[in-house]
């Protein structure tokens, strides 16, 4: 934890050593002496841990955070992590290649000539991403003299927070739609005096449908959370995948007929795998539902299952609208809806993301190929086995 003394203002700047050059962006920075400053001495605060100066130096040299240490005389030393950070920062700050290490440090901590800290700074990069550093100045307690600057690369933490906020925003947006429908039609049922039995049944049907959508979305979110936390339960057993696939296709046949879609299967017999049948059925069921949702009347959906090179390979192909390259690049992101509107289509928007994660949990893989206007192919693979368990 950073002590309260760290929150200071108008402290003198860290001393510069014009002889300390960053020659190539990756070279070490030579200090004024080969030893760490006197504040790491045997009688200093850092040295009282029991190992003296050698122990202090070993700790500072091995830390993953960048350390700039300055003693009372102005002697400055950088640890290897700080040298690496300077190499990263140098091109982003636009300083010359022969700039001293302390010039780079000063640019980080004193924009406009004033010392700033503790704080986060963001350095934009040419390729569009950026580097985020957390700077924490820490005065050393007596009897040590001097101060220390701790520099951490918090780019991954920043990106994680940004992704989390975006996810929460998207979840809120997705939940708002069904809730608004439920509230609207419930209000109509209460306020409208005379409703025919057909109108009442229609309003109640819409409320039930939207409530079911909310239930599916919440369950999908819980499943996604379990996977991310490593709490997803997978119960594998050896089974004949051919039977599971044929049975699931048969259960979707009536829906295909009602939409005038040709649903066909070409399932190779005796394809055995070790998997969780409920989880695998969930993934395949979602793929079939998506195909029947987007393929137009008169279209075709084909399910094939073969054994190839030691793998059980299942494909769900259709001649539907297909997807553009932009959509394919983000296909498995939670809640992503491409410009074709193919991804959610009234579902939770999480099915493909969860499906991909489920296949990975089962020891397999999900991949997709598509071309706008020419249909899509989704492929599920699992290691194949035979009834006696020999690969």
Where are the domains positioned within the chain?
A: 4-153, 159-228, 237-385
Confidence at residue 49, expressed as pLDDT on a 0 to 100 scale: 43
pTM, full prediction: 0.55
Tokens 């059925």 locate to 281
In CATH terms, are 4-153 and 237-385 the same topology? no
How many CB atoms within 10 Å of residue 57? 18
Q: Provide the pLDDT for residue 196.
A: 84
φ/ψ of residue 261, rounded to 5: -115, 135
Residue 63, token pair as written in the block: 């830390």
pLDDT digits (tens, 9 = 90+) for 303-352: 999 999 999 999 999 998 888 888 888 888 876 666 544 444 455 567 88
* Fold entry, domain 4-153: Beta-Lactamase (3.30.450)
Q: What is the dihedral of CA 346, 349, 350, 352, to 10 degrees?
A: 90
Give me the sign of the Cα torsion angle 281, 282, 285, 290.
negative
Residues lower than pLDDT 50 in the chain: 1-34, 42-50, 112-114, 116, 340-345, 389, 391
User: What does the pLDDT read at residue 246?
Assistant: 94
| pLDDT for 67 | 85
Fold for 237-385, please state it.
Answer: Heat Shock Protein 90 (3.30.565)
| pLDDT for residue 169 | 75
Cis peptide before 307 (omega within 30 of 0): no
CATH architecture group of domain 159-228? Orthogonal Bundle (1.10)
Residue 284: its pLDDT value, please? 94
* Buried residues in 308-326 as b, exposed as e (16+ CB within 10 A): eeebbbbbbbbbbbbbbee
Concatenated DSSP letters for 169-231?
Answer: HHHHHHHHHHHHHHHHHHHHHHH-S---HHHHHHHHHHHHHHHHHHHHHHHHHHHHHHHHTT-
pLDDT attached to residue 20: 42
Whether the CB-CB separation of 86 and 22 falls below 8 Å is answered with yes
Specify the pLDDT at position 364: 95
Alpha-carbon span 389 to 385, nearest angstrom: 6
Cα 250 from Cα 285, distance rounded (Å): 11
What pLDDT is recorded for position 260? 94
């Amino acid at each position: 934890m950073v002590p309260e003394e760290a929150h200071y203002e108008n402290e003198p700047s860290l001393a510069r050593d014009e002889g300390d050059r960053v020659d190539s962006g990756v070279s070490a920075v030579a200090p004024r002496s080969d030893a760490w400053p006197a504040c790491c001495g045997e009688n200093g605060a850092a040295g009282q841990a029991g190992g003296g100066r050698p122990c202090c130096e070993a700790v500072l040299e091995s830390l993953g955070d960048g350390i700039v240490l300055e003693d009372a005389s102005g002697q400055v030393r950088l640890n290897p992590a700080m040298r690496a950070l300077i190499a990263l920062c140098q091109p982003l700050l636009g300083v010359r290649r022969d700039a001293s290490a302390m010039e780079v440090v000063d640019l980080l901590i004193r924009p406009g000539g004033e010392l700033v800290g503790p704080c986060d700074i963001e350095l934009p990069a040419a390729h569009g991403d950026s580097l985020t550093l957390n700077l924490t100045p820490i005065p050393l307690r007596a009897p040590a003299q001097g101060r220390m600057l701790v520099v951490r690369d918090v780019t991954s933490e920043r990106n994680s927070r940004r992704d989390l906020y975006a996810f929460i925003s998207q979840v809120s947006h997705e939940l708002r739609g069904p809730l608004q429908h439920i509230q609207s039609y419930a209000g109509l049922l209460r306020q409208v005096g005379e409703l025919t039995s057909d109108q009442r049944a229609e309003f109640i049907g819409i409320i039930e449908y939207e409530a079911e959508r909310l239930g599916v979305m919440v369950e999908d979110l819980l499943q996604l959370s379990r996977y991310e936390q490593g709490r997803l339960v997978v119960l594998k057993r050896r089974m004949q995948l051919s039977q599971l696939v044929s049975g699931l296709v048969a259960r979707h046949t009536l829906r295909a007929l009602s939409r005038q879609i040709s649903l066909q299967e070409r399932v190779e017999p005796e394809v055995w795998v070790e998997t969780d049948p409920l989880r695998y059925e969930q993934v395949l069921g979602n793929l079939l539902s998506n195909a029947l949702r987007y393929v137009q009347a008169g279209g075709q959906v084909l399910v094939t299952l073969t054994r190839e090179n030691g793998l059980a390979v299942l494909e769900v192909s259709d001649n539907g609208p297909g997807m553009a390259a932009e959509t394919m690049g983000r296909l498995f992101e939670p809640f992503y809806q491409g410009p074709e509107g193919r991804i959610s289509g009234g579902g939770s928007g999480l099915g493909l993301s969860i499906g991909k994660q489920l296949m990975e949990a089962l020891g397999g893989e999900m991949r997709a190929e598509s071309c706008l206007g020419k249909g899509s192919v989704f492929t599920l693979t699992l290691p194949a086995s035979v009834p006696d368990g020999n690969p």
